Amino acid sequence: MAQPLVKKDDDRDDEAEYSPFLGIEKGAVLQEARVFNDPQLDPRRCSQVITKLLYLLNQGDSFTKVEATEVFFSVTKLFQSKDLGLRRMVYLIIKELSPSADEVIIVTSSLMKDMNSKTDMYRANAIRVLCRITDGTLLTQIERYLKQAIVDKNPVVASAALVSGIHLLQTNPEIVKRWSNEVQEAVQSRAALVQFHALALLQQIRQNDRLAVSKLVTSLTRGTVRSPLAQCLLIRYTSQVIRESSTQTGDRPFYDFLESCLRHKAEMVIFEAARAITELSGVTSRELTPAITVLQLFLSSSKPVLRFAAVRTLNKVAMTHPMAVTNCNIDMESLISDQNRSIATLAITTLLKTGNESSVDRLMKQITNFMSDIADEFKIVVVEAIRSLCLKFPLKYRSLMNFLSNILREEGGFEYKKAIVDSIVILIRDIPEAKESGLLHLCEFIEDCEFTYLSTQILHFLGIEGPKTTDPSKYIRYIYNRVHLENATVRAAAVSTLAKFGAMVDALKPRIFVLLRRCIFDSDDEVRDRATLYLNTLGGDGEVVETDKEVKTFLFGDLDIPLVNLETSLKNYEPSEEPFDIHSVPKEVKSQPLVEKKAPGKKPAGLGAPPAGPPSTVDAYERLLSSIPEFSNFGKLFKSSAPVELTEAETEYAVNVVKHVFDRHVVFQYNCTNTIPEQLLENVSVIVDASEADDFAYVASKPLRSLPYDTPGQTFVAFEKPEGITAVGKFTNMLRFIVKEVDPSTGEAEEDGVEDEYQLEDLEVVAADFMMKVGVSNFRNAWESMGEDFERVDEYGLGPRESLAEAVSAVINLLGMQPCEGTEVVATNSRSHTCLLSGVSLGNVKVLVRLQFGIEGSRDVAMKLSVRSEDEAIGDAIHEIVSCS
């Protein structure tokens, strides 16, 4: 149902106007469409009905084949009318209905008649519709008319043909490429839109020929382009040619063209040229100067769009050339009070990047009044800019830290408060002088913090940094208050933090012991258990029972095993004289349980579907493989994949495969089930063709002696690969066996059998197979402790995607790593996202990945990939995986 359209008039927020289509239903509209069949057509009534049909189609309502056909045939009768308005609606509805090939013939003659009409409106719209609904065969027949339309004197007709050519280039490129001469002629047109569309089409025709594009740019930069829109396109193509050039030494003729565009009379051309110059690779301060000058003039423009465009571009320039932007600071300060909050936010963040130490205090006063008037999303941008400024001028940490503390106590959402807390934490770590004041600010914040996650994170950080300060005792009151006043999750975190103070500060141990004793009587099991555990660790009299090193490792060390695996192992542990061994807990996180989906007539296929959780699965695989002599010397099993189906449901034989990865070998375990009662399969094996897997060499196989009906069995094939590397490839699989008929009455098989084969799906070994999903309890701590020695950073274009969430999911699946801290979830309509991943690579090498995604209006996704690892080669390998995907 249509929703009310709320007016954007601030003075009438309480009023709403409703869509004229509110409450319309498809059935009723289809009934109304019968008006198309009336002998005396009412153009106004018919136009209204078509409008409703278009509304339904654009709202996502789908018509059945019968409904669409009936509407289409009814609409074709409207060609009888000479009403111009109705004819335009007919063109629109035909395009939206997208008739099938046999229906297109019905309107082809009418559209071709219109295409040769003396009425230009008919000609232009008929061209658009024909090119939209016709296939390559009919397109060949009307190609001559389209070529004539491209050079038509009427700009509406010419533009219609050119735009249609741009669309047809995606489906029929060979036909469109034959129009080059006509398009080249249209580029010289005096009509602005014709020149714009012609240049766009000509560039797309030549886009795969870099030399041809370069020649096109060279010829057009000599002043033959009159249209401002076409000039903007030319500037973009010029920038592309400059980027693709291998060297740009000495004089740059294309730069001279860009600089000359700064003196164009059209504002859009001036801005496009300025933006292009600022984005040039290796641009110098001298080359930037003219572009910065025109952008500075735009800052004082009366047009909000120009002010926004200028300040956004300057904001980007300030990241790499802050000194070049300082001359604009006075103009940007006046924009802090701009009515457009986006402009004001960009102005402030730019000033924070370009300002000097003496201007910090003045900026803080201006920002204080400004913060209450903007939304949280803008506040986060300002907070991040302030953090960068503080790291740039550490001597100003007091005023900046006080500002962050003040806004932390104001109202705001979770993301906003998290950005402030993260900023304070970073400043504490990077500026030693800010540690004590920053920790006190965080302590004061958790007194009234309504977000459980932030409270627990602050307490965790306090437990690490607080004991290192000159007077740790002053934080104990804030921590212990959380034990009494907060929910169970925060109380448990507070208990852990108290224990860390007790372990690190000898003078506080007796006091901490008393406080922990009080926590034993808490109403929550988790709080009581933690208090008891820490009391036993520290000792009843405040003295450490274990060694200091063991206690600190226990309290501060990262738990490098997933909690879900630890929980499962503890549940499966049977009390005995042998104590529980935490090293027996698997480190891999199973993204999905290893349980085969039961299709009708199928049963779980052996170890492809073990009944227990991850520990028993891994143990079962280890025991099974080590019991086979051919594989017993392969060493320790690194990872076993989830079962991969090689057959469809309801087939004669059900086969899936589990990939077992060792340091130098990969073993394929084919889990087979015979679903035919009248057959017995013997000597079952899988013939694997590794011709598309160059790094793998066949080692051994273990056939299955017998496969009765509905009894799962396994056959194995092993391959050798180079030690310690991520080898990938595709394997073709053929199930080979001897089939024997079984007597249904006796259940006995015949003595003689027939050799047979059954084609299975191909199997791929991918990079993710060599990575275990191992989470970390605190990604930031793990990232910083890993250090920058083996960090590798690069940026990649992922191309067009349906959404940012789809791009994030694709990269996670490609790398096969464990998302941390819930960062695999992307907020709806988000334009950027950061995802944190962790894992253990082949050879038990820890790997951490930080992914930063951004999506543009064209749905193109860009990604910045940062990898830290204990082995530099692993980081290089991950970048190579992404670049080759």
Give Cα 140 to chain centroid, integer Å: 41
Cβ–Cβ < 8 Å for 355, 363: yes
pLDDT tens-digit readout, 249-299: 445 667 888 888 898 899 999 999 999 998 887 788 888 889 999 999 999
User: Could you tell me the CA-to-CA distances from 106 to 64, 77, 79, 83, 405 in Å, in that order?
Assistant: 19, 10, 11, 21, 72
Query: According to the per-residue pLDDT averaged within each range, which of 164-168, 224-228, 316-320 is highest?
Result: 164-168
622: amino acid identity, one letter? E
717: amino acid identity, one letter? V
pLDDT of 135 > 50? The answer is: yes
User: Could you tell me the CA-to-CA distances from 375 to 370, 401, 411, 542, 854 in Å, in that order?
Assistant: 11, 21, 11, 50, 21
Residue 251: its pLDDT value, please? 52
Residue 560: its pLDDT value, please? 63
Query: According to the per-residue pLDDT averaged within each range, which of 249-263, 390-404, 706-720 is highest?
Result: 706-720
Lookup result for tokens 């004041």: 437
pLDDT tens-digit readout, 416-442: 888 889 888 888 888 888 888 888 888
Give the dihedral of Cα atoms 259, 261, 264, 270; nearest 10 deg: -90
d(CA 401, CA 202): 56
Give Cα 667 to chain centroid, integer Å: 33
- For the chain, give the mean pLDDT: 82
Q: Could you tell me which residues come within 8 angstroms of residue 620 by beta carbon, excluding any fewer than 6 positions away?
A: 607, 610
Cβ–Cβ < 8 Å for 671, 735: no
Confidence of residue 14 (pLDDT cuts 50, 70, 90): very low
Question: Region 630-653: what's the mean pLDDT?
Answer: 85
Q: Could you tell me which residues come within 8 angstroms of residue 794 by beta carbon, excluding any fewer than 6 positions away?
A: 864, 865, 879, 883
Cβ–Cβ < 8 Å for 228, 266: yes
Confidence of residue 145 (pLDDT cuts 50, 70, 90): confident
Question: Region 115-134: what's the mean pLDDT?
Answer: 84
**DSSP states of 829-841:** T-SEEEEEEEEEE
Residue 539: its pLDDT value, please? 72
Residue 391 phi, psi dihedral angles, 5° rounding: -70, -25
Residue 613: its pLDDT value, please? 37
d(CA 26, CA 321): 58
- For 605-636, b where at least 16 C-beta lie within 10 A, e where not — what string? bbbbbbeebbbebbbbbeebbeeeeebeebee
Residue 587: its pLDDT value, please? 63
d(CA 16, CA 22): 13
Residue 670: its pLDDT value, please? 93
d(CA 83, CA 44): 9
| Own/partner pairs, 545-549, CB within 8 angstroms, 24+ separation | 548/503
pLDDT of 595 > 80? The answer is: no
Q: Give the dihedral sign, CA 627/633/636/639.
A: negative
pLDDT of 117 > 60? The answer is: yes
pLDDT tens-digit readout, 571-580: 887 777 778 8
Which is more confidently placed, 252 or 86? Answer: 86
User: Could you tell me the CA-to-CA distances from 681 to 684, 736, 790, 829 in Å, in that order?
Assistant: 7, 10, 53, 54
Confidence of residue 604 (pLDDT cuts 50, 70, 90): very low
Cβ–Cβ < 8 Å for 348, 382: yes
d(CA 885, CA 874): 17
Confidence of residue 811 (pLDDT cuts 50, 70, 90): very high
pLDDT of 542 > 80? The answer is: no
pLDDT tens-digit readout, 299-308: 988 999 999 9
Question: Region 521-528: what's the mean pLDDT?
Answer: 85
Residue 605: its pLDDT value, please? 37
Q: Could you tell me which residues come within 8 angstroms of residue 825 by beta carbon, excluding any fewer than 6 positions away?
A: none
Question: Region 374-389: what's the mean pLDDT?
Answer: 81
Confidence of residue 111 (pLDDT cuts 50, 70, 90): confident
844: amino acid identity, one letter? N
pTM for the predicted model, two decimal places: 0.54
Confidence of residue 562 (pLDDT cuts 50, 70, 90): low
Confidence of residue 732 (pLDDT cuts 50, 70, 90): very high
Residues of the chain above pLDDT 90, percent: 13
Residues of the chain above pLDDT 70, percent: 89
Residue 600: its pLDDT value, please? 39
pLDDT of 544 > 50? The answer is: no
List of E strands, 581-642 = 639-640
Q: Could you tell me which residues come within 8 angstroms of residue 109 by beta carbon, excluding any fewer than 6 positions away?
A: none
Q: Could you tell me which residues come within 8 angstroms of residue 265 by beta carbon, excluding any fewer than 6 positions away?
A: none
Which is more confidently placed, 484 or 28? Answer: 28
Q: Could you tell me which residues come within 8 angstroms of residue 9 by beta carbon, excluding any fewer than 6 positions away?
A: none
Residue 480: its pLDDT value, please? 86
pLDDT of 591 > 50? The answer is: no
pLDDT tens-digit readout, 834-844: 899 999 888 88
Tokens of 617: 């699965």
Residue 619: its pLDDT value, please? 66
d(CA 852, CA 186): 43
